Amino acid sequence: MSELFKDIPEFVETSIGESVTARTETLATFRELGPPDLCHVIKSSGSKTAQKDLGSYHYCSGVEASSSASLAAYLNSLQFSVEEDTAWFGKGNGWRVRNGTYCCFNAFSRVDMRVDVKIPGGVDAYVVDLRGDKKLDPITTPEAEGRFLKAAEALFFKGWQLGSDPEIQVATVVTNHLTSAVIKYFADSFRLDRAANLFERMMVNEPEVASLLAKSYIGMNEEIKAVKIMHTALSNNPQSYPILHTQCDFLMSKGKPEWAQQIAQQAVNSAPSEFVTWAKLTETYIELGQFDQALLTLNSCPMFTFNERDLHRMPTPLKTHLPIKKFIAESGILDEESARDNEADVALIRLPAPGLRGTFAKAYSLLTLLVSKIGWDELLKTRSQVFVMEEEYRLHKTTASVELNGFAADENASTAGIRGSGEGAPNTPSDIPTIRISTESTRTPNGTQLHHQKKESQQMDTVLEKPETAQVNDEPNSPIGMKADDASAEGEEEDESTVDQPSAFANKRLCERWLDNLFLVLYEVSELASRLHHKEEAKDAFQRCLDSKFSAKALIKLLEMYSHEGDLQRTLNAAIRLTTWYMDAAYPSMIAHYLFKLGLIHGHAKIQYTLLSMNLPVGIFEIMQGYMKYGAAFNVEGSEF
């Protein structure tokens, strides 16, 4: 018999216990939610006098960790995954699970909870402080969901300790991983009424929770209640940007981008250091068709470094075991790997866009949305109208040098405009922040301009200034201190014929380095339909991909597209193949979300009858039935018809 589990992926250790030791040594590096749960087991074979031990480990997600008893039960269940002895005569000294350790990181207490189980024997639970991927359904019954909500309510006001999404700079009680998880868990199954009940109780102590409650009501199609809650919340706290964003999203969904733009502008004034407020304002300008203002707003977004997930480096395993169930192997979904299938164009492999994370990924998505609206040529034209181009800068620098009686300006200096007579002090280096990303576009000719800002501002303090326009926004607190319209349209006394070339130059702004890099990234990947919002072309590309070779990533994209279209047969075909590929876990998952979305249109009964008519193999049919059983147990909308 084999020393490996028959149905659990695992890594065999070179020396017993090295995985737990490696986890202990890296505990102090965990910043937010921590790594996945680690399950370490020791298997033994042979008699007591000649016993042979083997250590292995696997990662878990979803095992109930509310008590040491539940973790001990999971470790004890691993005994049934060991292959049985196949000896003909008598029972041989086969492999058995002798010891197991389950490690679970508590992100609130910042400690690693561990349960050590000896089989047969006792259970020992202990805690390791900071100094010192098998997936299961985390919530399988309505009772377990009730315990989850009770724990979430008790820890709600500590949620900021968990961190937040990469686009959020400062985690708060409203914007953190806990609230995001609650919203996503209930929204994916269209059961936001349970989330609304939780947020109603929390709003008594924290008024900003009104934004989460309003989102829940909007998801429940209770829009009148949501509007009343937002009105009351903004009357008491008009500077809360989460509530303003909820109102902005609601107005956008109702086709009122001009109203949404005013709300988004107010959110920027309330939280100018947050990326999401500027990104929301950019979206409203794109919907309004004010593409020059959208570019200027995107250029003003505060960018910050993406924090990687809490993952620790493990020792190199002696052996890797990835078992495949028999009915999965017989389904024909798993294609044989070959070197030819994995070949790809070098230029496609090196595309930088898939590697963008956090605020840079969101900014890139806004840029692709912009180019899908107006096209590449019009985008470049708009860019040249609002930003200083390299040739313009060189021409202006030459003119400025002549005006200074032959003064030779530094070639690496970076400026954005000419200061007229009677205006304020010159630029300082802090006026124009430098934000860098690691892409090949850093080789651009103007790549060192911002580095020498201080030197240039000191040498040319009589001519250089921070980029400004000839017209100031009507609102004194507006985050965008310029408008795209010509100042001459407002009735300036100066005649247009007397306006020289430098004054037009003064109406432009300096493009941030990171945005300039994203333009180059966009140019390199402009043929990729999915990222550029060409849905039909993307669908055709994904289908051609599947015709050549099975790809879970392509199937997930097609599943999303088919479910949006309400295509029952194609959605089920994609869901069946993906479910067969992933095998375990019903909910939460993307497959469940899109199936439940389809159930809103057709009902779960029709989905079940369609699955029955497809004559699926027994094992695959039972896995698909898991989604329907979950919907019936938790009363997902659509399960009753």
Residues 266, 268: Cα–Cα separation, whole Å:
5
Q: Say yes or no: 87 and 185 in one domain.
A: no
| Residue (of 145, 114, 143) closest to 129 by Cα position | 114
* Domain-embedded: residue 338: no
Q: Say yes or no: 211 and 234 in one domain.
A: yes
Average pLDDT of 50-75? 87
Q: Say yes or no: 161 and 129 in one domain.
A: no
Residues 364, 372: Cα–Cα separation, whole Å:
12
- Report the run of H or E that residue 53 belongs to, with start and end: strand 52-61
Mean pLDDT score of the chain: 77
Q: In the chain, how many H helices and how many E strands?
A: 25, 8
* Domain-embedded: residue 316: no
67-81, 261-275, 329-343: the lowest-pLDDT one: 329-343
Given pLDDT bands bounded at 50, 70 and 90, which one contains residue 513? confident
* Domain-embedded: residue 305: no
What are the pLDDT digits (tens) for 382-432? 888 888 877 777 777 677 666 665 544 444 443 344 334 344 444 433 333
Q: Say yes or no: 129 and 154 in one domain.
A: no
Q: Say yes or no: 395 and 477 in one domain.
A: yes
Residues 534, 537: Cα–Cα separation, whole Å:
6
Residues 296, 481: Cα–Cα separation, whole Å:
10
Q: Is the dihedral of CA 140, 180, 370, 290 positive or negative?
A: positive
Residues 445, 412: Cα–Cα separation, whole Å:
10
* Domain-embedded: residue 329: no
pLDDT of residue 512: 78
Q: Say yes or no: 295 and 225 in one domain.
A: yes
pLDDT of residue 394: 74
194-198, 480-484, 544-548: the lowest-pLDDT one: 480-484
Residue 445 has pLDDT above 70, yes or no: no
Residues 183, 191: Cα–Cα separation, whole Å:
10
Average pLDDT of 466-477? 39
* Domain-embedded: residue 72: yes
Q: Say yes or no: 166 and 46 in one domain.
A: no
Residues 367, 380: Cα–Cα separation, whole Å:
12
* Domain-embedded: residue 47: yes
Residue 175 has pLDDT above 90, yes or no: yes
- Report the run of H or E that residue 76 belongs to, with start and end: helix 68-77
Number of other CB atoms surrounding residue 258 within 10 Å: 11
Beta carbons of 331 and 12 less than 8 angstroms apart: no
* Domain-embedded: residue 4: no
pLDDT of residue 348: 59
Looking at 299, 329, 345, the residue that finishes a domain is 299
Number of folded domains in the chain? 4
Q: Say yes or no: 518 and 539 in one domain.
A: no
Residue 570 has pLDDT above 60, yes or no: yes
Residue 457's Cβ-count burial label (10 Å; 0-12, 13-18, 19+) is: buried
- What does the block give as tokens for 292? 């020059």
- What does the block give as tokens for 452? 């020498």
* Domain-embedded: residue 162: yes
Residue 201 has pLDDT above 70, yes or no: yes
Residue 73's Cβ-count burial label (10 Å; 0-12, 13-18, 19+) is: middle
Q: Got the DSSP string for 364-409?
A: HHHHHHHHHHH-HHHHHHHHHHHB--HHHHHHHHHHHHHHTTS---
More confident residue, 352 or 584: 352
pLDDT of residue 7: 81
- pTM of the complete model: 0.65
Given pLDDT bands bounded at 50, 70 and 90, which one contains residue 120? confident
Beta carbons of 248 and 219 less than 8 angstroms apart: no
Looking at 299, 319, 336, the residue that finishes a domain is 299
CA 298 from centre of chain: 19
Domain containing 208 equals: 142-299
Q: Say yes or no: 281 and 165 in one domain.
A: yes
Residues 116, 123: Cα–Cα separation, whole Å:
6
Residue 150 has pLDDT above 60, yes or no: yes
Residues 417, 601: Cα–Cα separation, whole Å:
57
Q: Say yes or no: 146 and 127 in one domain.
A: no
Looking at 299, 321, 342, the residue that finishes a domain is 299
| Residue (of 513, 508, 507) closest to 432 by Cα position | 513
Average pLDDT of 52-70? 87
* 3-class DSSP assignment, residue 314: coil
Q: Say yes or no: 574 and 459 in one domain.
A: no
What are the pLDDT digits (tens) for 29-46? 887 888 899 999 999 887
Given pLDDT bands bounded at 50, 70 and 90, which one contains residue 128? confident
pLDDT of residue 531: 59
Residues 44, 31: Cα–Cα separation, whole Å:
36
pLDDT of residue 463: 37
Q: Say yes or no: 125 and 154 in one domain.
A: no
- What does the block give as tokens for 202? 């929390």
Q: Give φ, ψ of 464 to 5 degrees.
A: -95, 150
CATH number at residue 619: 1.25.40
Residue 89 has pLDDT above 70, yes or no: no
pLDDT of residue 182: 94
